[in-house]
Amino acid sequence: MEHLSKIELIGRVGAVDERIIGNERLVRFSVAVNTMFKNRDGAVASTTWFNCTYWGNIVIKKGQDIHLEGWMVGQTYVDEEGRDRQYLEVKVNRIW
């Protein structure tokens, strides 16, 4: 059986960083996804931020609504204080 890592997000773009590497554009951006749920007191909104990377010629602006598809990639590193950390990122392959 093959394994699949796929994520689809609909949200709003936060910070954007664009760079040209060779002949390709690398766009790194964050996406805020709001989730509504009910607790005892009523409806509550929760925002989750996702770090995203996209290779391609597309213009992404802070504040725009976005619908994307990609896969999650996890990286581990050691911070300045010697603690193990994990960084999750969405590698985007399709944007609507």
In a domain, 22, yes or no: yes
Q: Where are the beta strands (DSSP E) in the chain?
A: 7-21, 24-39, 42-55, 65-78, 84-95
Q: Could you list the residue range(s) of the whole structural domain that residue 81 is in?
A: 7-95
Residue type for 50, please?
F
Phi-psi region of 2 (alpha: psi -120 to 50; beta: other; left: phi over 0): beta
Overall number of domains in the chain: 1
Residue 12, domain CATH? 2.40.50.140
87 within a domain of the structure (yes/no): yes
| Assigned domain for 43 exists | yes
Q: What is the pLDDT of residues 17-70, one digit of tens each?
A: 999 999 899 999 999 999 988 878 877 889 999 999 999 989 999 999 999 999
Report if residue 11 sits inside a domain. Answer: yes
Paired with 28 in beta bridges are 17, 53
pTM: 0.83
